[in-house]
């Protein structure tokens, strides 16, 4: 297997402002024979999703609530790899960003993207400081931005489509769709029904995805019938901890998924869930 060092560019293209497109360089590690890996990490109650393109480019979307992320990442990133190309945050709630406080000091981070929603908590303040200390800029992305991971893997931003600095964390959610040829995964964060309806109203056709990361840990406030009908997934993944105090996943959500014939996987039952795709077919570990 070749193990050459090769510099690649990542392009962030906004539909409107090509001039503002920026690039950075990452290290090409080894040939992965065209396989995209997406791992829904077992970090307890929260979300943490690791994405690795065939060329080795990596994104960590959310990091769970605490240092459990380090052990979970150790299962999908080799010990000698001390860098992650890009961190992304769906929204500033602790069960999504808390783990970054442990990741940032231990890995070289290429960049950070978010919807730009702020949250006035001491923990989020500490997180923002940790980014500043390592000179990691917060790049705010909007609908139309495409993060090109290379080898045909693209992360499309579906929401926000506006400035969301001062909205509530859930209303300023970063919602994205990962596409690799015939494989598509909708990454919803804690999106609730109001935003689901809004995305349906914008473009019903653009939601259809093979895999749905179920919104808000399986809460009944997300995954409406209408939304699920347009996404029409084969698989759903719920990220949550055992015996969480919210009663997630709610029975209503499981019933709807069941009614639509969606195969549902849960990190509280399966542990870390790893999807592998060659762009044609999907394998679930
Ligand atoms: Zn939340």
Per-residue pLDDT tens for 201-248?
A: 998 788 999 999 999 999 999 999 999 999 999 999 999 999 888 989
CA distance 151 to 56: 10
Q: How far apart are the CA of 190 and the centre of ligand 1, in A?
A: 5
Residues 6+ apart with CB under 8 A from 221: 192, 193, 215
Instruction: Please give the model's pTM, rounded to 2 decimal places.
Output: 0.90
Q: How far apart are the CA of 221 and the centre of ligand 1, in A?
A: 12
Specify whether the CB–CB gap between 185 and 38 falls below 8 A: yes
Domains of the chain: 7-284 (3.60.15.10)
Q: How far apart are the CA of 30 and the centre of ligand 1, in A?
A: 36
Give mean pLDDT in consecutive 10-residue pieces for the chain, a chain of 285 residues. 40 42 39 88 97 96 98 95 96 98 97 95 97 95 94 96 96 97 97 97 90 97 96 97 90 97 96 96 91
Q: How far apart are the CA of 114 and the centre of ligand 1, in A?
A: 14
Q: How far apart are the CA of 90 and the centre of ligand 1, in A?
A: 9
pLDDT in tens, 158-189: 999 999 999 999 999 999 999 999 999 999 99
Q: How far apart are the CA of 123 and the centre of ligand 1, in A?
A: 14
Q: How far apart are the CA of 241 and the centre of ligand 1, in A?
A: 14
CA distance 119 to 249: 25
Residues 6+ apart with CB under 8 A from 2: 30, 31
- In the chain, what are the helix, strand and coil shares in percent, each to the nearest 5? 25, 25, 50
Handedness of CA 40, 44, 47, 49 (dihedral sign): negative
Q: How far apart are the CA of 216 and the centre of ligand 1, in A?
A: 7
Q: How far apart are the CA of 178 and the centre of ligand 1, in A?
A: 21
Q: How far apart are the CA of 47 and the centre of ligand 1, in A?
A: 9
Q: Where are the alpha helices (H) located in the chain, listed in sequence order?
A: 68-74, 94-97, 100-106, 122-133, 193-202, 225-231, 251-259, 267-270
DSSP bridge partners of 40: 49, 273
Kindly state the tokens that stand for 207: 């939601």
Q: How far apart are the CA of 168 and the centre of ligand 1, in A?
A: 10
């Amino acid at each position: 297997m070749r193990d050459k060092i090769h510099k690649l560019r990542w392009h962030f293209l906004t539909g409107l402002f090509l001039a503002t497109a920026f690039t950075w360089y990452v290290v090409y590690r080894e040939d992965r024979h065209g396989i995209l890996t997406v791992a829904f990490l077992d970090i307890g109650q929260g979300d943490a999703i690791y994405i690795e393109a065939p060329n080795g480019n990596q994104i960590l979307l959310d990091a769970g609530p605490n240092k459990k992320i380090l052990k979970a990442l150790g299962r999908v990133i080799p010990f000698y790899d001390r860098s992650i190309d890009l961190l992304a945050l769906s929204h500033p709630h602790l069960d999504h960003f808390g783990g970054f406080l442990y990741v940032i000091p231990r890995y070289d981070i290429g960049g950070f993207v978010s919807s730009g929603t702020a949250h006035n908590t001491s923990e989020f303040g500490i997180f923002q400081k940790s980014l500043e200390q390592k000179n990691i800029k917060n790049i705010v992305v909007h609908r139309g931005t495409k993060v090109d991971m290379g080898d045909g893997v693209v992360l499309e931003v579906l929401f926000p489509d506006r400035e969301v600095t001062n909205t509530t964390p859930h209303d300023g959610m970063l919602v994205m769709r990962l596409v690799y040829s015939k494989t598509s995964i909708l990454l919803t964060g804690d999106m609730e029904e109001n935003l689901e309806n809004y995305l349906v109203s914008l473009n019903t056709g653009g939601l259809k995805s093979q895999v749905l990361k179920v919104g808000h840990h399986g809460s009944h406030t997300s995954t409406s019938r209408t939304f699920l009908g347009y996404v029409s997934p084969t698989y759903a993944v719920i990220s949550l901890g055992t015996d969480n105090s919210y009663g997630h996943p709610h029975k209503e959500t499981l019933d709807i998924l069941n009614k639509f014939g969606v195969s549902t996987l849960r990190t509280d039952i399966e542990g870390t869930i790893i999807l592998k795709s060659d762009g044609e077919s999907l394998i679930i570990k």
